[in-house]
Structure 1
Amino acid sequence: MPTKKEKQESVSRVKKDLARYKTVAIATIASLPAKHYLSIKKQTRNDVKIEFARQTLLKRALEESGRLELKPLEGKFQNGAVIIVSDLDAFKLYALFKRSKSKTFAKPGAIAPSDIVVPAGETNLAPGPVLTELKQAKIDARIKGTKVTIAKDVTVAKKGEPISEPVAKILMKLGIEPFEIGIGILSVYDNGTIYEGAALDIDEEAFLHSLTEAHRAALNLCVFAEIWNETSAPLIIQKAAREANAIHKLIETKKPATEKMPAAEAAQVAAPAGTPAVEAVPATGVAPEAAADAAKEVKREGL
């Protein structure tokens, strides 16, 4: 039992930290084994400070801190609550503790955090009494060679349901760890805003992908709507150049071919000045004598 002096010292210590750090969070360490708590505290000590004391003392420190903006946090306390102070923003603070969580096996009676599914496929279990245990957990299993095989995917516990003893036992044998243990962030005050823990749970990879896609879509809009900026300008110019080249090639393809000059006109143009033009006479089917007579007649008329 802490003495009155120790209680006052605890309140004083927490008040000083509340005045020193900009970000304040209420978290819970309920059901967290002591060794895991100490490990997480050691991992995060360079970025945060965890204040552990009786809830009445922590609430008193909040009330006497002089920071009226922290008053909404007084209603966020749950079983095993602690105060966390830091200069990290709310999202980085949440991500820090999310990374520090570790997987653990289910215990009988524990509430499933999500649907727990045993996947189909070969297991490392050898045939034997385990087949009875699988049946008790309502898992369809068969022997294949020297191993036990799960016939199809099966949901052994739905979100919010208590886990039965047979299910907890078989999950452990299958090596399935459906639970995470760690410090759970309940609520965070950061720069004038109170964030609920669930609102801070962001998939960083999916968020980055969404930002990338949004940037690509915005840039595409700028290029086709010809909205000029330092990023879109080079692409707009390149697009215009490609379109101009395409139009030029299209015009060249559609241009009509140059008409050929008739043979008689070509001969007349090519003949020296003063030389009478002679019409070409097809050689096919014309006797040599007739051709000679025709040539003489043309020459006579020209004279």
Structure 2
Amino acid sequence: MVHKPSKAEKKIAYDAKLCRLLDEYGQILIVAADNVGSNQLQMIRKGLRGDSVVLMGKNTMMKRSVRLHSDSTGNKAFLNLIPLLVGNVGLIFTKGDLKEVREEVAKYKVGAPARVGLIAPIDVVVPPGNTGLDPSQTSFFQVLNIPTKINKGTVEIITPVELIRKGEKVGSSEAALLSKLLIRPFSYGLVVLSVYDNGSVFSPQVLDLTEDELVLKFAAGVSMVSSLALAIQYPAIAAVPHMFLNSYKNVLSIAIATQYSFPQADKVKEYLKDPSKFSVAVSPAAAAGVPAAAKKEEEKKEEPAEESDEDMGLSLFD
């Protein structure tokens, strides 16, 4: 007789598995699992097999296990997971590239019909064209104010119609019409809500940032820190070069206005005494090339003139 584990034994086994995964994996994707069936979840597990593990469970059990494991190990970073365990969510533990894992999960989406009372995740637009329905079905279109006409004994939609808007509940008339048109407007799968990476928690949109975008954002942050530090005269690392430069400018201004001088100021004073030193020096090669170029231009101009004289002479003799 096969022993059937009790609820207490299941909780102990689940707690041990979650704690083991927390110790083994430093990266976790928190995913929403609304409207995801068991078969679909099994396909996702097969697709991620190798470097990722999908773990589902009740939020209360997950929160309890995470809290106890954090206390036993002294790793308070695990507590950052607790606020994320809200709603119908699961955990994907991975050692692979986070962006690639998210893209792999997104592949396993399954089309679903518009059920009555369901909140629409996207806008639903019915395209124009022949529906294949007989004229007796026009009542569905009239109730929803969809313009139609009878063409070759079937109902034809004249213009595209926005039937359901994102965030609205699906009504019985909308659901019946979409069912008759064989339209499955929605698709469901695991959706990444947050990313946990060795104690840090961030939005999945961060995974879409390129290196160039990261550099620009980092530069903008450094610029803001530098501006703030300069404004309050606080010697932050980002502002120190600007502070040194401003100090040099101040000392240089004093040296120019007085008899005091120092090596870095001597050259500036020399330029101020003789402004001609500000002119751009011409290299010997460039200087030699200018007359040669000018001479060639003159020769080119002279050649057409000689040809015209000869032509005139020939015409005179003729």
TM-score (norm 2): 0.61
Cα separation, 2, equivalents of 1:60 and 1:193: 20
Q: Which amino acid aligns with 2:182?
A: G
Q: Which runs of 5+ in 1 are unaligned?
A: 212-247, 268-279, 284-303
Cα distance change of structure 1 residues 119 and 192 upon mapping to structure 2, 3 Å threshold: same
Q: 1:26–1:186: 8 Å Cα contact kept in structure 2? A: yes
Structure number with larger C-alpha Rg: 1
Query: Residue in 1 aligned with 2:134?
Result: 127
The counterpart of 1:85, out of the listed 89, 93, 97, is 93
SS of corresponding position for 2:65 = helix
Query: Residue in 2 aligned with 1:288?
Result: none
RMSD over aligned CA atoms reads 3.6
Q: Deviations over 1:173-206 (max 9, x none)?
A: 2232221211222211125531234x2685x9xx
Report which of the two has the higher share of helix. Answer: 2
Q: Which amino acid aligns with 2:84?
A: K
Query: Residue in 1 aligned with 2:218?
Result: none
The counterpart of 1:19, out of the listed 23, 47, 53, is 23
Query: Residue in 1 aligned with 2:169?
Result: 162
Query: Residue in 1 aligned with 2:227?
Result: none
Q: Which amino acid aligns with 1:168?
A: A
Cα distance change of structure 1 residues 146 and 3 upon mapping to structure 2, 3 Å threshold: same
Q: 1:23–1:191: 8 Å Cα contact kept in structure 2? A: yes
Q: Which runs of 5+ in 2 are unaligned?
A: 214-292
Q: 1:89–1:190: 8 Å Cα contact kept in structure 2? A: no
State the identity %.
Answer: 23
Q: Which amino acid aligns with 1:177?
A: R
Q: Deviations over 1:52-106 (max 9, x none)?
A: 2332221122221544323222111223322220112332222221111122111
The equivalences for 1:167-186 within 5 A come to 167-186=174-193
Q: Which amino acid aligns with 1:77?
A: L
Q: CA deviation at 1:153?
A: 1.4
Q: 2:132–2:155: 8 Å Cα contact kept in structure 1? A: yes
The equivalences for 1:23-34 within 5 A come to 23-34=27-38
Q: CA deviation at 1:19?
A: 0.9
Cα separation, 2, equivalents of 1:125 and 1:200: 46
Query: Residue in 1 aligned with 2:76?
Result: 68
Q: CA deviation at 1:33?
A: 2.2
Q: CA deviation at 1:144?
A: 1.6
2:52 is aligned with 1:48: yes
Aligned residues: 226
Cα distance change of structure 1 residues 17 and 176 upon mapping to structure 2, 3 Å threshold: same
Q: 2:78–2:199: 8 Å Cα contact kept in structure 1? A: no
Q: CA deviation at 1:262?
A: 5.9
Q: CA deviation at 1:132?
A: 1.4
Cα distance change of structure 1 residues 17 and 259 upon mapping to structure 2, 3 Å threshold: same
Q: CA deviation at 1:2?
A: 4.5
Q: Which amino acid aligns with 1:188?
A: V
Q: 1:187–1:195: 8 Å Cα contact kept in structure 2? A: yes
Cα separation, 2, equivalents of 1:49 and 1:94: 13
Cα separation, 2, equivalents of 1:266 and 1:125: 92
Q: 1:108–1:165: 8 Å Cα contact kept in structure 2? A: yes
Q: Deviations over 1:101-150 (max 9, x none)?
A: 12211101111112211122x23423233221122232212112244221
Q: 2:77–2:198: 8 Å Cα contact kept in structure 1? A: no
Q: Deviations over 1:224-275 (max 9, x none)?
A: xxxxxxxxxxxxxxxxxxxxxxxx9xx98x9431424867x989xxxxxxxx
Query: Residue in 2 aligned with 1:4?
Result: 8
Deviates more, 1:157-166 or 1:147-156: 147-156
Cα distance change of structure 1 residues 47 and 144 upon mapping to structure 2, 3 Å threshold: farther
Query: Residue in 2 aligned with 1:259?
Result: 306
Cα separation, 1, equivalents of 2:52 and 2:117: 33
SS of corresponding position for 1:129 = helix
